[in-house]
Chains A and B, each alone.
Chain A
Amino acid sequence: MIRLIVLVWMALTIQTAQAVPVIQTATLDNGLRVLLIEAHNVPMVAMQLSLPAGSRFDAKHKAGSAAMLAAMLSDHTAKHDQKSWADWLDFEALHLGMGASRDTLNMSLTVVKASLPEGLDALSEALLQPGWNPERFKILQEDSVASAIKSQESPNVLAAQATASLLYGQSGYGHVSSGTAKSLKDIRLQDLKALYREQIKPQGSVLAVSGDIRMRELLPMLNQRLSVWKGKPIYAALSVSPVHAKKVQIKYVALPTSQALVQFSRIGIARSDKNFFPLFVMNHYLGGGGFGSILMEEVREKRGLVYGVYSYFIPLAGQGPFVITLQTRASQAEKSATVVRNVMKSLVAGEIDPKRLQATKDNLMGGFAQRMDSNRERVGLMAMIGFYQMPLNYLQRWTEQVDSVTVADIKKMAKNYLQPNDWNMVQVGPVKE
């Protein structure tokens, strides 16, 4: 019998080991961390460079600076004006993209294997030789402002702005990364230069690579292009001042729509929080697991009130937001919100169904391989692991961490995080009579 168990155990381990790709790491002389997962099934390479220059570093009243910096670095360089840069990248089929999230400014590159040297030339040129062309800055700024005005048609954008502000006020996470029409107008080229000078540094940054390449081929190519890049950022990648919880509020935002968007929010956890896995499983149970989640069952399946209802939390360098959101015909908003609150109350009261919890865990564990079955997904995971300094066996240990979450853990998480009175509510839609 023991032998049988051992065999079964071995079979399971082997299966898991096959499914979890190994992350290789290296550090360049300038301190840049490189993470690689080899995948030789498609002749392509994808990568993401994550730099500690996200929107939380935007200057005061200048929300959108990091996003504008990303747009400028991506647009042209000191060597290439906008047109010749666009022509060259397109001619070589180099897909170079940039954008800003809350913590990081990200540069991504996707190329066919044969074009990797040109791709790295492009990435390093965009990174190290910014053009700072004032005419292009003016054009990009005008277009960003126009886009920000247009985005005010979207209930999701209005809700995100209101939620960020309720949770974080004037601090770094208190605005959406894309900024507002007003804040974008106030940005000057020197603001972008300052952010670049202070934060675009190799130390604390991470380059995540996945695809048809080996570390021994990759490193010389990187060293050749990036060794002149040196230094560490003024503000360390992971240092954030703690968030002071604000008074819970209910806020209405007027929009002439037929539906109301209802968004509940509270402060969640930092990426480094030891409660990540229990909270992760609890959220999947609550509203993160699509049709398997209890919110979807209660609000959509049983009552037909919504097309979708979801919950998610975003672990960041600091404590990120925890959000529950739904859209329903305006006259049903209150009823739907009550159903959500009742679900929260029942979980706080300890009503956790062990069978549903097992199903939640089975879904997460069984679906683990799918979370990394493409280069794009692997790059995203590695960038997260690298930037937030997660242990390198994070992927290997993921399944057992999920598996070890118990009913008692979920009860504890629910008690700590789902008290309805701790949650803000934003409602976007027709103004309440």
Chain B
Amino acid sequence: MMKLIGWCFVLLCWMNVAQAANIQEANFDNGARLVVEEDHSAPVAMVQVWLKVGGRDELPGKTGLAHVFEHMMFKGSDALKPGQYSKTIAAMGGNDNAFTSHDFTAYFETVPAAKVDQVLGMEAERFAHLSLGKKEFSKEIRVIMEERRMRTDDDPNSHMFEELSAAALRLHPYRNPVIGWMQDLKRLNIEDVRAFYKKHYVARNVTVVVVGDVDFKHVKASVAKTFGAMPDVKVLPRFNPKEPEPLGAKRVNVNLPAKAPIVAITLPVPVWEPGKNDKQAAALAVATYILAGGRSALLQQRVVDEQRKAFAVSAGYDPFGMGLDLWYAYGMLGVKQSTADFETALWAVLNQMGEKPVTKHQLQTAKRNMVASQVFAQDSLYLRAKLMGRLETVGIGAKHIDDWLKAIQAVTASDVQHVVKQFLRPERATTGLLIPKSEVKS
């Protein structure tokens, strides 16, 4: 009976989540793309402009360059004075912002639906005619350094994770921080910025995503006149080197002023390539959910509640990266908890998962929650647009959203066991320790 109810639940949610059917797309001759999902429940729209450019497209010594644009795009264009972009969006009752990762840069606005045309026009104008003045850049690069100080340099935990990623990978660009190394930020100049702009800010790298109270045909005509009308500039394939397989365990100790230690492990694992490794990627996602999702998460139960080796524990896998993902798990330790004991306990859980299949109950719980999370994500225009934009930009395609849920549904206990045994092994791991350094008294 339980099983029957379980399936009804999953199927019921499944029908409600299926999103691909509502996605409408258009391609323009110059390579720009448009993806729209109409939702007429509130008179608002989310406009996101996604670019196939991010930290991975930077040359050595020029880290942080992709993220510089997240700032410079608000510093004026032919038609708009510095700051005027945001002011205009604000005056229409909108919010605007941007985010940058290794794989993409995205600019987004939430606006009253009636303003979508105007926003698209402004986005296209600044995209094609950015000012990139020397004076604005010299001010903005200082703001970026403050951002780095705040987010990384003064946060011992982020700082440790930055060192850990750098130690874990040899070739893959995920080894560099998106915000850039401080040493590089200090040397970037406006010529670097202009060259990067010329190379990457072209129509072929653009996907426009609109979710909300809009009409697809209307938006399509609007994008045709803006992003669709830009020159067709060829782009080169993106930098995506094959990371060599780890040859043994690595460790990095980070000594920083801190109040308590953190231990993290990270391992390179495959990302999802639709039709090629559905089972593998979905099994990694399910395994990670069983380890770290919800209240009954295995790591929480074993390592925190039963064995008391940490006060908090987490793990994460991102199936939508490019080339690989750095799978991670970490524990936050109390002052008296031992890092060695934590590592032993963590690996015992992972090893056991590789030796013994998870229970049907665990498997079913994971699947139900992963489907339910998709339902809850439908509640946010921002999250819906973000998922579509991301899938487009990394080369998966927004239309494959439903295939991911199907792949999750198909995962078996033995699939989970197999991927854990294959990938989550100590000899493939890089371990990072944040070791509290006694505070320097001034």
Contacts and interface: CB of A to CB of B under 8 A. Distances in A.
A146 B44 contact: no
B273 interface: no
B195 interface: no
A376 B93 contact: no
A375 B377 CA distance: 11
Contacts of B138: 304
A258 B154 contact: yes
A376 B82 CA distance: 35
Interface string A122-165: 00000000000000000100110111011011110000000000
Contact of B147 (A307, A362, A433): A307
B90 A114 contact: no
B76 to A, nearest CB: 11
A39 interface: yes
B16 A43 contact: yes
B375 A362 contact: no
Contacts of A369: 42-44, 93, 112
Given A44-B376, A307-B150, A297 B83 contact: yes
B43 A150 contact: no
Interface string A360-375: 0011111111100111
B365 to A, nearest CB: 5
A259 B149 contact: yes
A39 B379 CA distance: 10
Interface residues of B, number: 74
Nearest to B382: A374
Contacts of A363: 90-91, 93-94
Contact of B42 (A89, A367, A373, A433): A373
Given A19-B43, A41-B39, A375-B379, A289 B90 contact: yes
B308 to A, nearest CB: 8
B161 interface: no
Contact of A83 (B147, B149, B257, B296): B296
Given A83-B296, A89-B295, A359-B90, A115 B150 contact: no
A230 interface: no
A93 B368 CA distance: 6
Interface string B139-153: 110111111011001
Nearest to B146: A307
A307 B74 CA distance: 14
A18 interface: yes
A374 B380 contact: yes
Contacts of A87: 296, 361, 365
A93 B146 contact: no
B180 to A, nearest CB: 14
A422 to B, nearest CB: 28
Nearest to A145: B334
A231 interface: no
A305 interface: yes
B259 A149 contact: yes
B335 A139 contact: no
A327 B149 CA distance: 9
Contacts of B407: none
Contact of B43 (A18, A95, A147, A305): A18
Contacts of A365: 93
Interface in B421-442: 439-440, 442
Given A19-B43, A291-B90, A366-B91, A149 B260 contact: yes
Interface in B75-126: 82-83, 86-87, 90-95, 110-112
B190 interface: no
Interface string A247-259: 0000000101111
A43 B334 contact: no
Contacts of B334: 142-143, 145-146, 149
Given A366-B112, A375-B379, A291 B92 contact: no
The 8 tightest CB contacts between A and B, nearest first, are: A366-B93, A146-B334, A86-B295, A304-B139, A146-B311, A41-B41, A93-B372, A257-B154
17 contacts: A41-B39, A42-B379, A43-B13, A91-B361, A91-B364, A149-B260, A153-B258, A257-B149, A305-B146, A307-B147, A327-B146, A359-B87, A362-B93, A363-B93, A366-B93, A366-B94, A374-B380
Given A307-B147, A374-B379, A376-B379, 20 more contacts: A18-B43, A89-B295, A90-B293, A90-B295, A92-B368, A93-B372, A110-B376, A114-B13, A115-B9, A289-B90, A291-B74, A291-B87, A301-B82, A304-B143, A359-B90, A363-B93, A367-B93, A368-B93, A373-B381, A431-B442
Interface of B: 9, 12-13, 16, 39, 41-44, 74, 82-83, 86-87, 90-95, 110-112, 138-140, 142-147, 149-150, 153-157, 257-260, 293-296, 301, 304-305, 308, 311-312, 332-335, 337, 361, 364-365, 368-369, 371-372, 375-376, 378-381, 439-440, 442
Interface of A: 15, 18-19, 39, 41-44, 46, 82-83, 85-87, 89-93, 95, 110-112, 114-115, 139, 142-143, 145-147, 149-150, 152-155, 254, 256-259, 289-292, 297, 300-301, 303-307, 327-329, 359, 362-370, 373-376, 430-431, 433
